[in-house]
Amino acid sequence: MNKGSVYDFLLKTMQTKGAGFLCLIDPDNKDSQNAVLLARKCADSGVDAIFIGGSIMLEDNFNPTIKAIKQEVDIPVIIFPGIFNLGSPNADAILFMSMLSSRNPQLLIGDQVKAAPLIRKFGIETIPTAYLLIESGSLTSVQYMSNSMPIPRNKYDIGVAHALAAQYLGMKLIFMDAGSGAKMSIPLEMIRQVKSNINIPLIIGGGIKTPEEAREKVEAGADFIVIGNAIENNDDHNLIEAFANSIHQTL
């Protein structure tokens, strides 16, 4: 994957497949060796790109994990920084995120200012992304670590207003997430109403447990589906391929 081409790749994936399949690998849940094995399975089973990241980093293996994965797969490896400043010169891109659902200034702009010089030094592609945390029925890692209130899952107008604000601010992606460990995934009606009011790509993640549920999210308007725990806890080819077949809507 050439530097500076990841966002175009994502747009092309939407155009050719109808929706994209993204796998999230948390280095705290997988050591480098097992993360590479999972990444290979993902690349061989129809995953379009790999996200690397999490809400907390207990092990000092973030950059080694990305480097090892990049040596083994051809699909893009993108940093999903959670709520911390995570960088690596070995990644293809980073979601340069602002947590717009939060009112915590550190997550809106503080962490981004601290991370910007390092990202410039690394020379990796930045993809401006609005992160919207949606209520999931349980206290998730990102909600706890960010000290942020999620958008209520039945307040569709609040979700729409935040998504529109993200678009008007010039964000290139909107990532609506129920969070790791979510009891419930994002409601279909929330996805429908947000997607009908924006014209930038919409990523949906958190709490999606089955290929059938993933397909429902795509049919409601999701442009990309992120699967993390469901694959990390059961990383066989058949399940990953089932997710890929349910998400991809090739004409």
Instruction: Report d(CA 210, CA 212) in Å as an integer.
Output: 5
Give the pLDDT of residue 57: 57
Amino acid in position 142 = V
Give the pLDDT of residue 4: 46
Give the pLDDT of residue 30: 82
pLDDT tens, the chain, 251 aa long: 555 499 999 999 999 999 999 999 988 778 889 999 999 999 999 999 999 987 565 556 788 999 999 999 999 999 998 655 567 899 999 999 999 999 999 999 999 999 999 999 999 999 999 999 999 988 787 887 788 899 999 999 999 999 999 999 999 999 999 987 789 999 999 999 999 999 999 999 999 999 999 999 999 999 999 999 899 888 677 999 999 999 997 64
Using an 8 Å Cβ cutoff, are 102 and 134 in contact? no
Instruction: Report d(CA 4, CA 167) in Å as an integer.
Output: 21
Give the pLDDT of residue 179: 85
Q: Is residue 215 part of a domain?
A: yes
Q: Is residue 44 part of a domain?
A: yes
Using an 8 Å Cβ cutoff, are 134 and 190 in contact? yes
Strand partners, 126: 94
Q: Is residue 70 part of a domain?
A: yes
Q: Is residue 117 part of a domain?
A: yes
Q: Which domain holds residue 41?
A: 6-128+201-247
The total of structural domains in the chain comes to: 1
Q: Is residue 236 part of a domain?
A: yes
Q: Is residue 193 part of a domain?
A: no
Q: Is residue 150 part of a domain?
A: no
Instruction: Report d(CA 93, CA 131) in Å as an integer.
Output: 16
CATH number, domain containing residue 115: 3.20.20.390
Give the pLDDT of residue 222: 98
Q: Is residue 168 part of a domain?
A: no
Residues 24-74: pLDDT tens digits?
A: 998 877 888 999 999 999 999 999 999 998 756 555 678 899 999 999 999
What would the two tokens of residue 116 be? Answer: 């910007």
